[in-house]
Structure 1
Amino acid sequence: MAGLVTFAVNAQSADLKVGYVQVDKILQEAPQTAESGKKLEREFSPRSQELDRMAKQIKDLEATLDKEGLTISEAERRNKERDVQNIKIEFQRKQRELREDINLRKNEELGSLQDRVNKAVQSVSEAEGYDLVVYSGVAYASKKIDITDKVLKMLGKK
C-alpha cells in the first residue's frame, strides 16, 4: 500500500501521463477479430460439413435398422448394429479432432491478434507521449485515461 501511495505522489509531481486499455473491448471490436473468425470458418467448414453428413448417415442407418429390425435375420441385424456403432466411433473421433484443431488455430489467431494489439498500443503510447499504459485488470480507471478507442482506430476499427 505504501508503494502505491508513493507511486501516486511521484506520479503527480512528475506529471506522468498514464493511459488505460480495455483489452476485452479491443478483442471484441477489432476488425481483425471478425476476419479471424471468418478465416477459421472457411478453414474448418469442409470438415464440419463432413461431420454433418456422418451424423445424418448415422440417423438414417438407425432409422432403417429400427424399421427393418423385425424383418431381417438376427445375424444381419447384428452386422448392421456393428456398422452403425463403428460409424459412431469414427464420428466421435473426427468430432474430437476437429474441436482440438479449431482450439489450436483459435489460439494461434488470438496470439497473432494480441501481437498486433500490443504494437498498436505501443504506437499510440509513443505517438501521444504516454509514460505508462496499463491493461484490463485494474480496479479503477478514469475515462479520461482510457485510450482503447485510439488503439481500435490504429487497428482500423474506427
Structure 2
Amino acid sequence: MKFLKSSKSIQFGLVAVIAALAAPLVFAQDAGTRVAVVNSEKVFNESNLAKAMQTRLQNEFTKRQNELRDSAQKIKSAAEKLDRDAAVMNEAERSRRQRELADQDRELQRKQREFTEDLNQRTFEERAKIAEKANLVLRQIAEQRKLDVIVQEAAFVSPKADITDDVIKALNSQK
C-alpha cells in the first residue's frame, strides 16, 4: 500500500513536470507565436555567396599551399638522400646536414601554422560577410511571413518550419 502511494506521488510529480515544461509551448501556440528554423551551415555551404567565398579563398591561398607542399617534398627528398648517403659521410658532415634538415623542418612547420592561421582568419572574415547578409534576409523573411522567432540549428525541424532554402534563394537573388 505504501508503494502505491509513492508510485502515485511520483506519477503526479512527473505529470506536474511535464505540464510545467509544456506550458510555455502551449502558451506560445495559443498566443500565435510563429517560429521558423534555418540551417546556417547549409547557407554557408550552398549559397552562391558561399561558393564565391570558396573560390576567392582558393585563389588567395593556393599558391602558398603549393609552396608549402613543394617545401615539404624537398625536405623529404633531402632526408631520404641523407639516409642513403649517411654511411659514406663523415660525422661532422652528417651532423651538419641533420641540423640543416631540422632547421628547414621547423621553418616549414612555422609557415604551415601561419598559413592555417591566415586561412582561418580569412574564412572567418568571409563567413561574417555572408552572415551579415543572411541576417538581413532573415529579417525580411520574418517581416514578410510575420514570424516571431527564427531559430538556428534545431534538433528537429518540420519541413514547413524550415526556411533554409528560402534564405539561400533570397541570398542568391542578391547582387
**Once the 2 structures are TM-superposed, how far is the Cα of residue 73 of structure 1 from its aligned partner?**
2.2
Q: Residue 118 of structure 2 aligns with which residue?
A: 101
Q: 1:75 is matched by which residue type in structure 2?
A: A
Matches within 5 A, 1:137-148: 137=154, 139-148=155-164
C-alpha distance in structure 1 between counterparts of 2:82 and 2:25, whole Å: 74
C-alpha distance in structure 1 between counterparts of 2:74 and 2:35, whole Å: 60
CA gap of 1:58–1:140, structure 2 versus 1, over 3 A, is closer
C-alpha distance in structure 2 between counterparts of 1:140 and 1:78, whole Å: 61
Q: 2:171 is matched by which residue type in structure 1?
A: L
**Once the 2 structures are TM-superposed, how far is the Cα of residue 135 of structure 1 from its aligned partner?**
2.3
Give the RMSD, CA atoms, in angstroms. Answer: 2.3
Matches within 5 A, 1:78-117: 78-117=95-134
Q: Residue 67 of structure 2 aligns with which residue?
A: 50
Q: Residue 9 of structure 1 aligns with which residue?
A: 27
More moved, 92-101 vs 30-39: 30-39
Q: Residue 77 of structure 1 aligns with which residue?
A: 94
Q: Residue 149 of structure 1 aligns with which residue?
A: 165
CA gap of 1:59–1:7, structure 2 versus 1, over 3 A, is closer
C-alpha distance in structure 1 between counterparts of 2:140 and 2:96, whole Å: 66
**Secondary structure of 2:146 counterpart:** coil
Aligned pairs, number: 155
Picking from 119, 134, 156, the partner of 2:151 is: 134
Preserved CA contact (<8 Å) 1:124 1:154: no
**Secondary structure of 2:88 counterpart:** coil
Q: Percent identity?
A: 32
**Once the 2 structures are TM-superposed, how far is the Cα of residue 95 of structure 1 from its aligned partner?**
0.9
**Secondary structure of 1:70 counterpart:** helix
TM-score by length of 1: 0.83
C-alpha distance in structure 2 between counterparts of 1:41 and 1:56, whole Å: 21
Q: Residue 21 of structure 1 aligns with which residue?
A: 38
Unaligned runs of 5+ in 1: none
Q: Flag the structure with more relative contact order, 1 or 2, with Cα contacts below 8 A and sequence separation at least 6.
A: 1
Preserved CA contact (<8 Å) 1:17 1:130: yes
